[in-house]
């Protein structure tokens, strides 16, 4: 019986594990914390898709919106296939027990930035948590799926050391409860580890988002793609809270408007609809519902011009019953800070949100080398992968869709092309290594890394700041490598090793780009 290791417990990893198990494979899911501690669980908005396969006009509209948001860099073939498969994959989620919100007998659909129509299924403002719940419950019913929590993937094991073209045969992972390093054999490894939002000081991502899967694949010979494109969500709640809380784009889809201090003042004095006072109209005729790259950049630039720490999301012109019914999670969190929907201006600002670039994969989710050949037995799915779906900027609520479509494709590819050749795998060697007792240098290095990425590789960039970041990353790489070579791995050491590597790929890709496109905006290229 083939053995597969899935790294990550979000929608991509769980869905792929279910598909593989249903075909008779033995699946082990490893996840750094609890199964629910994934970016999927934090996703509020929803999953975009056309359920009716005969709705050619609806699918063509979804394709067009995706291509426009991607600013000319989407792979049209990938976009068409994902949109075409959306209905089937959403029905799969329904079959696993996902409970999307309904309006009568039909699903209640919402609209978000960049969408020209209502096509997003949701579970109020906790869609990710509902998907995570249903898939996790389905996983628990499978005898051939093992879930190992508090298990951190460290490095992939190659079939022939130094020859990625020969494939992957397992993974070394750190048991965070026993602190033991274990080697797991795998006929195939599916990387579904999400993104790397922890590179920046302010992020909507969970603390597990440290780029682990991308980094270990790159060290095993994989190629990254489009790493310069990192999406900042324009409306994260900023009330002095250490952890920014995402205010879903669906709130703007229902009519929420972004204002700066001046716009808020004029709105309070003159009244009327707040939209006419929004500075976002200076950047796009779509105003607060423009694509995320445009809205985040407009917020960032306005805050820099005025010196303000935030802009404002206004909802007091909207029906309170609708807001409190559709956004209970947000309302509950706002109440903790003495705020309420439909009443108070909400202080918001952009925060690091989604890695649009990632591991270069093909249409089946196979991870590619620099020569465009796949690494046998290695797949990348979900946020960690760069499929060509998102181009230079992801359209809202396309991420869950892409994840489930490519999870299915990767699983189907392995099922049709099985590998079953269990081999001996080497044990982790710690000869001469010492326990890392003093973590203070790593803490300082992590602070330096986050400040560098925040100030020099953020929403708006320049060549001088990118080159400065590159020099700092070279130094951090050297310092972290010195500690890595002589120390028994800890979670802190593994994570900063991965973060520095991913940051280097992001920065190098940004330096090499000679035009502004989507999420990459260099003031020297204007």
- Name the catalytic one among 89, 119, 292, 517: 292
Q: Is 377 left (phi over 0), alpha (psi -120 to 50) or beta?
A: left
Q: Is 211 left (phi over 0), alpha (psi -120 to 50) or beta?
A: left
Largest CA distance in the chain: 75
The angle at the Cα of 466, spanning 463 to 467, to the nearest 5 degrees, equals 85
Task: State the Cα–Cα distance between residues 88 and 129, nearest whole angstrom.
Answer: 21
Let me know: does 1 contact 143? Beta carbons within 8 Å.
Answer: no
Q: Is 505 left (phi over 0), alpha (psi -120 to 50) or beta?
A: alpha
- The three-state (H, E, C) secondary structure of 63-96, written as one string: HHHHHHHCCCCCCHHHHHHHHHHHHHHHHHHHHC
What is the b/e burial string over 494-523, where b = at least 16 CB atoms within 10 angstroms of the residue's CB? bbbbbbbbbbbbbbbbbbebeebbbbbbbe
Task: State the Cα–Cα distance between residues 175 and 177, nearest whole angstrom.
Answer: 6
Phi and psi for 359 in degrees, rounded to 5? -65, 135
Let me know: does 210 contact 198? Beta carbons within 8 Å.
Answer: yes
Q: If we measure between CA atoms, which residue out of 142, 266, 254, 199 comes closest to residue 457?
A: 199
**Cα atoms found within 13 Å of the Cα of residue 278, Cβ hemisphere only:** 26
Let me know: does 151 contact 174? Beta carbons within 8 Å.
Answer: yes
Catalytic-residue membership of 292? yes
Distance of CA 237 to the CA centre of its chain: 19
- Burial, 11: exposed, middle or buried (Cβ in 10 Å; 0-12, 13-18, 19+)? buried
Q: What are residue 92's DSSP bridge partners?
A: none
Catalytic residues: 292
């Amino acid at each position: 019986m083939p053995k597969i290791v899935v790294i990550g417990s979000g929608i991509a990893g769980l869905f792929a594990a279910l598909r593989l198990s249903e075909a008779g494979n033995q699946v082990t899911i490893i996840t750094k914390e609890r199964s629910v501690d994934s970016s999927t669980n934090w996703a509020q908005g929803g999953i975009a898709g056309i359920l009716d396969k005969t709705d050619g006009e609806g699918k063509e509209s979804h394709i067009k919106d995706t291509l426009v948001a991607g600013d000319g860099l989407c792979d049209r073939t990938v976009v068409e296939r994902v949109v075409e498969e959306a209905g089937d994959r959403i029905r799969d989620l329904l079959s696993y027990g996902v409970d999307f919100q309904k309006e009568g007998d039909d699903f209640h659909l919402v609209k978000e930035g960049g969408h020209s129509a209502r096509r997003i299924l949701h579970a109020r403002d906790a869609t990710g948590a509902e998907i995570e719940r249903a898939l996790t419950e389905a996983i628990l019913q499978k005898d051939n799926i093992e879930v190992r929590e508090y298990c951190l993937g460290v490095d992939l094991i190659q079939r022939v050391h130094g020859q990625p073209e020969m494939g992957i045969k397992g993974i070394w992972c750190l048991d965070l409860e026993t602190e033991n390093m274990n080697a797991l054999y795998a006929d195939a490894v599916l990387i579904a580890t999400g993104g790397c939002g922890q590179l920046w000081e302010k992020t909507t991502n969970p603390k597990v988002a440290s780029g682990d899967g991308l980094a270990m694949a790159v060290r095993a010979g994989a190629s990254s793609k489009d790493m310069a494109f990192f999406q900042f969500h324009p409306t994260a709640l900023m009330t002095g809270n250490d952890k920014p809380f995402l205010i879903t784009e669906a709130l703007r889809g229902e009519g929420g408007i972004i204002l700066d201090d001046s716009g808020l003042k004029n709105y309070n004095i003159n009244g009327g609809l707040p939209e006419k006072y929004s500075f976002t109209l200076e950047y796009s005729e779509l105003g607060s519902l423009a694509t995320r790259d445009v809205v985040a950049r407009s917020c960032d630039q306005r805050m820099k011009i005025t010196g303000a720490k935030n802009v404002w999301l206004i909802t007091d012109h909207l029906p309170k019953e609708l807001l409190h019914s559709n956004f209970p999670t947000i309302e509950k969190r706002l109440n903790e800070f003495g705020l309420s929907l439909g009443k108070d201006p909400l202080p918001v600002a952009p925060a690091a949100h989604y890695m649009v670039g990632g591991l270069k994969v093909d249409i089946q989710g196979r991870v590619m080398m620099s020569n465009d050949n796949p690494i046998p037995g290695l797949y990348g799915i979900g946020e960690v992968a760069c499929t060509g779906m998102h181009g230079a900027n992801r359209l809202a609520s396309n991420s869950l869709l892409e994840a489930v479509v490519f999870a299915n494709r990767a699983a189907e590819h392995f099922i049709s092309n099985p590998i079953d050749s269990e081999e001996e795998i080497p044990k982790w060697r710690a000869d001469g290594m010492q326990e890392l007792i003093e973590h203070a240098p790593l803490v300082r290095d992590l602070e330096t890394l986050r400040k560098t990425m925040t100030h020099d590789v953020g929403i708006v960039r320049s060549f001088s700041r990118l080159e400065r970041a590159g020099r700092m990353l070279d130094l951090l790489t050297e310092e972290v490598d010195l500690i890595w070579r002589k120390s028994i791995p800890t979670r802190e050491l593994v994570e900063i090793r991965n973060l520095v590597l991913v940051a280097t790929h992001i920065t190098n890709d940004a330096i090499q780009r000679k035009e502004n496109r989507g999420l990459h905006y260099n003031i020297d290229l204007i």
